[in-house]
Structure 1
């Protein structure tokens, strides 16, 4: 895909994330909630808004190839949806970074239902590197912020 700031499009779906990036994978049980309710939160950007990341441009729902811009801590965060997953027991999407994003990489948001127990597990997977001087200077503090935001995203998926 043109315009993205990284080459490994779709790699957050793989078991092994691409070399040369910081990796993040975190999960949380949401209990026996309705997968459709979680999917509605995911697919309407409410995971982001409930976490303090505000959508300033783009469609109101997640759709493949949609470009969306968020704002957080005064930074503009442009992304493109690179994958949408709508299966019986799995819902979610991945977006990749566009020029101007403080990071370069991809992030995936998923909710998976265990067909045996009905339990829903939310998972966030990402790989990224700093793309701007403020994020490069932030160093370990930037990674701490990313882990904090991941916890907030996971909590935001609870209906």
Structure 2
């Protein structure tokens, strides 16, 4: 079994986000109604959203499940960063909410947790949310300093745009 690199396991699901970390909270409207909610949830939990955003992804299972491993890789050519993670929790059973959270493993440039969920609001709006807490774990993440949160927010926005396109395509 792998070892997570932070002690606050599950905080993206239960809250509050722990102190001493950079916090990311980004929400994007991706659709409206039950069909859009189902399409968005499937895209998140079948890894299509990540792959369609340009990330390389290797997962131990077709869908996220607690204890499953995920390796996300971003970059171009030799400038590629790989981020090994473990799925911490899933939200398949919750009405009006679908998604999962994963935590960092050794070799990840950051330490912390991130979740990707889609919620169906009472008014029928479908919202995609990325919620994360992290701090540098590698020398290059520490060296990048204030650029890391900028890149994380850029990637969260990119995921939201990607998911909106997937949902719109049906």
Q: TM-score, normalised by structure 1?
A: 0.93
SS in 1 for 2:70: strand
Shift of 1:57: 4.5
| More moved, 79-88 vs 24-33 | 24-33
For the residues of structure 2 that align with 1:137 and 1:27, how far apart are their CA atoms?
28
Q: Does 1:29 align with 2:23?
A: no
| More moved, 50-59 vs 99-108 | 50-59
Q: 2:87 aligns with which of 59, 73, 81?
A: 81
Q: Show the counterpart of 2:108.
A: 101
For the residues of structure 2 that align with 1:55 and 1:145, how far apart are their CA atoms?
18
Q: Show the counterpart of 1:41.
A: 43
Q: TM-score, normalised by structure 2?
A: 0.87
For the residues of structure 2 that align with 1:134 and 1:58, how far apart are their CA atoms?
27
Residue correspondences, number: 158
CA contact (8 A) 2:27 2:130 kept: yes
**Structure 1 spans left out of the alignment, 5+ residues:** none
Structure with the higher helix share, 1 or 2: 2
**Structure 2 spans left out of the alignment, 5+ residues:** none
